[in-house]
Structure 1
Amino acid sequence: MRVQLQNDPTARVFSQQLLDIGNGEVEFNQNTQCIRLPDNFCIVVETKNDLIETVFPDKINNYLNHNWLSNRAILAAKNVDVDLINYQIQQLLPGDIMSFKSIEATVDKDKAVNFPIEFLNSLDISGMPPHNLRLKIGSPIILLRNLNPSLTCNGTRLVIKKITGNVFEATILAGKFKGEIVL
């Protein structure tokens, strides 16, 4: 849908390549049990640090540039990988990291023995933030639940502008309301 709306030919090619992979139309090597990705599909790097530097070069000078930031993202298959990469990138940004922890209790006190705090804290559910969410001013985030339907929708990319208690003020990175501030 985004490829059609933005009418970006390179995005259209990439989208078709993803569909070809998903539909099993890419040559499969029986010996290695792997597929060969098209040459123009991606850039292969050796380490996570190389990946971060390739996607976010000169991040110290550019992380406040919303146009630069809105054109970059690292996707990962597992939440644990996303959390590690996010933490590594945030360590490189100036400022203090702030930690926000989820609630460590059950609604029914009688059932608390069935759900120990360690178990609740270890849950890493897709579509939910991690138990220990660590953020800095200037950190890019993705809106998981739409709280302001007039400006945002699930999946809107934002950048943290201000943190007050448990309220984040953020700027929308892309789309019709790019540059608008939301709470």
Structure 2
Amino acid sequence: MLRNINQPRLCNGTRLAIKKLLNNVIEATILKEKYKEEDVHIPCIPMIPTDVPFEFKRLQFPLRLAFAMTIKKSQGQSLSVCGINLENPCFSHGQLYVACSWETIRFVCLCARRSNKKHRIPQSTIIIIEMINNKAITYL
């Protein structure tokens, strides 16, 4: 979801499974914990861009296909398998803690870049690499 339509059910970041595509409505099932397996209808909504010098309006579904999410967007989600990409450093150790602290995750795959003279690996990434080397984390 890209916009809040019906809080708290349909809000920004809600994961959905699409059941049926119609011309003006999408039928979907919520994959979120509290409202899990609840059927919802998502209408086309008018989108009016403000970053162009002329005005126009288009109807669009407020959805985006997501194979990846930011750590912030994925907070509160229940994921059974998760991959964490650490090629770019986290803002803080707290952000990395949030990414690694989901109770329902059984497998975690962490990707970190190798060190060379041009690029220094951030401290948080070094800690994660040590955890992988010590087999403290099960990975795919």
Tell me the TM-score normalized by structure 1: 0.21
Higher strand proportion: 2
| Larger RCO: 1 or 2 (CA < 8 Å, sep 6+) | 2
Tell me the TM-score normalized by structure 2: 0.28
